[in-house]
Amino acid sequence: MTLLKDWRFRPWKNGAAAGELTAAQFDATRLEAARRAMIETQIERRGVRDARVLNAMRAVPRHAFVPPDLRSQAYEDAPLPIGAGQTISQPYMVAAMTAALKVTENDRVLEVGAGCGYHAAVLSKLGREVVTLEYRAELAADTAKRLAEMRYDNIHVHCGDGTLGLPELAPFDAILVAAGAPAPPPPLLSQLAEGGRMVIPVGTLENQELQLIERRRDMFQTTVLDSCRFVPLVGAHGWKDLPLR
């Protein structure tokens, strides 16, 4: 009779015999498999096939950006709460927005809505520098600490009103807005470089359309990409008088 080991119910020990996995190794292997499955089933099959974007998402451990109690759900096809009434976006939406932005290796990128830092980490694999703005001070501090510990050295976290952008650091080759706006904020449009691209959800509080805005001198061409639903963009040129949770 041949006895088969069942790893699912094996009690883990501090050490492991040769050829056996430790608990940490097993967890890492499982998460890596989940990340590969996310890329294949949620992103590639829905039409996002930009190799640079796919490689960036393979390289960034999404589970490291979610609360510990949600780690097992990190690679599911859904947004997840990260605290302060904010979410980490659905993996497909991260991929679709990033692909539409067409970031090149020399681009400087402004992200509005840092959240937990996951999307900035993906963008950092594609461009030269990522500047990310977060409205909530505590979230900005936590995200800056996380990104520094993970050695994302080309990401710079700022706290402030994202609808105003960062004129002192402009222009930006690409701007990604990770919250729903009633209209594209004029300060962000003015901070786009010639030939720059902005991806932004625009619409009501409940439903938005994802827009790609491209600058050609003083003209802005808008293309509607998809329907979506994001948390509100709060600020002088966003939604006002909304309670911060």
Residue 204: give its domain's CATH number: 3.40.50.150
What is the pTM assigned to this prediction? 0.88
What residue spans of 64-168 are helical by DSSP H?
Answer: 91-101, 118-124, 137-149
pLDDT at 160: 97
Give residue 199's domain range: 79-228
Residue 180 lies in a domain: yes
CA distance 236 to 227: 24
**Inter-residue contact 89 to 154 (CB < 8 Å):** no
Mean pLDDT, the chain, whole residue set: 91
Q: Is the pLDDT of residue 1 over 60?
A: no
**Inter-residue contact 54 to 45 (CB < 8 Å):** no
Residue 2 lies in a domain: no
Three-state SS for 170-195 is CCEEEEEECCEECCCCHHHHHCEEEE
Residue 137 lies in a domain: yes
| C-beta atoms surrounding 74 within 10 Å | 21
Residue 160 lies in a domain: yes
CA distance 27 to 177: 33
How large is the average pLDDT for residues 122-149?
97
Which residues does the annotation mark as catalytic?
A: 89
**Number of compact structural domains in the chain:** 1
CA distance 137 to 87: 16
| C-beta atoms surrounding 3 within 10 Å | 5
Distance of CA 116 to the CA centre of its chain: 8
**Inter-residue contact 117 to 157 (CB < 8 Å):** yes
Which residue type occupies 206? Answer: E
Residue 188 lies in a domain: yes
Residue 163 lies in a domain: yes
Reported as a single tens digit per residue, the pLDDT across 215-237 is 998 899 999 999 999 999 999 99
How large is the average pLDDT for residues 156-175?
98
Residue 150 lies in a domain: yes
Residue 53 lies in a domain: no
Confidence of residue 85 (pLDDT cuts 50, 70, 90): confident
Which residue type occupies 77? Answer: D
**Inter-residue contact 86 to 67 (CB < 8 Å):** no
